[in-house]
Amino acid sequence: MAHVISLWDIPSLPVKDSTALYPVRRIFCVGRNYVEHQKEMGGDGRETPFFFLKSAHSLVPGGGTLHYPPKTANFHYETEMVVAIGKGGRRIHATKANEHVFGYGVGLDMTRRDLQQLGKDHGRPWDFGKDFDEAAPCSALVPAAKLGHPARGAIWLKVNGKERQKADLSDMIWSVPEQIAYLSAHYTLEPGDLIYSGTPAGVGPVKPGDDLHAGIDGVGELKVKIVPAL
Ligand code: MN
């Protein structure tokens, strides 16, 4: 089949101990899914979580350099466990959700916080705050067949060697199986869909020259360096 413009490569993630890649279709992200982060963003600790999306185009596979994005003066990190769907479905029950997971990784939900706030203030979408070039760094995936389904374990971030985020996966308000159940009631989930499962408290700004080192014990690590804008 010919195309009238050149085809691009499907955004893909490396898989630990494999030469084969995981192709990415969509990126779902849950908001305010750790109690202390929910409070730091102005919540009362009981709000129902909600989702937004990033395009697969924003993926930065394996980390590396991130260009400081345009039109922001408040560029934030959010460290998150990434869930990679391996088997699609709709109306998936939480008790069956783990059967739909291919594996897990460590991601950063990079955010233009000032543009996100502008959207909130005017009741507008969050896309410009959340979905932009290089907004979704993610580590190699670890298959659930090797790892199991992590429900606890430290999730952390160091910026220039100083700890900025530290929590436990068990601090999530909505567990990963509950997130899959909720999402699959609204969408037909497909293989290649990623879910960024929320960030703990401690989010903050970074600038060119900063080194970010994120990790989830038992899952993996992700390193990113912020470099000047393109
Ligand atoms: Mn987030």
Structurally, how many domains does the chain consist of? 1
Is there a domain that residue 36 lies in? yes
Is there a domain that residue 82 lies in? yes
Q: CB within 8 A of 5, min separation 6: which ones?
A: none
How many angstroms does the Cα of residue 5 sit away from the middle of ligand 1?
A: 34
**Per-residue model confidence as pLDDT tens digits over 55-103:** 999 999 999 999 999 999 999 999 999 999 999 999 999 999 999 999 9
What is the rounded CA–CA span in Å between residue 146 and residue 186?
30
**Per-residue model confidence as pLDDT tens digits over 23-60:** 999 999 999 899 888 888 888 776 777 999 999 999 99
**Sign of the alpha-carbon torsion through 137, 35, 147, 176:** negative
Please give the average per-residue pLDDT across 106-128, as a whole number.
97
pTM: 0.96
Is there a domain that residue 53 lies in? yes
Is there a domain that residue 193 lies in? yes
Tell me what pLDDT residue 175 has. 95
Tell me what pLDDT residue 46 has. 66
What range defines the domain where residue 135 resides?
Answer: 19-227
Residue 115 has pLDDT above 70, yes or no: yes
How many angstroms does the Cα of residue 6 sit away from the middle of ligand 1?
A: 33
How many angstroms does the Cα of residue 29 sit away from the middle of ligand 1?
A: 6
How many angstroms does the Cα of residue 51 sit away from the middle of ligand 1?
A: 9
Is there a domain that residue 199 lies in? yes
How many angstroms does the Cα of residue 31 sit away from the middle of ligand 1?
A: 6
Tell me what pLDDT residue 211 has. 98
**Per-residue model confidence as pLDDT tens digits over 143-174:** 999 999 999 999 999 999 999 999 999 999 99
CATH number of the domain that residue 24 is part of: 3.90.850.10
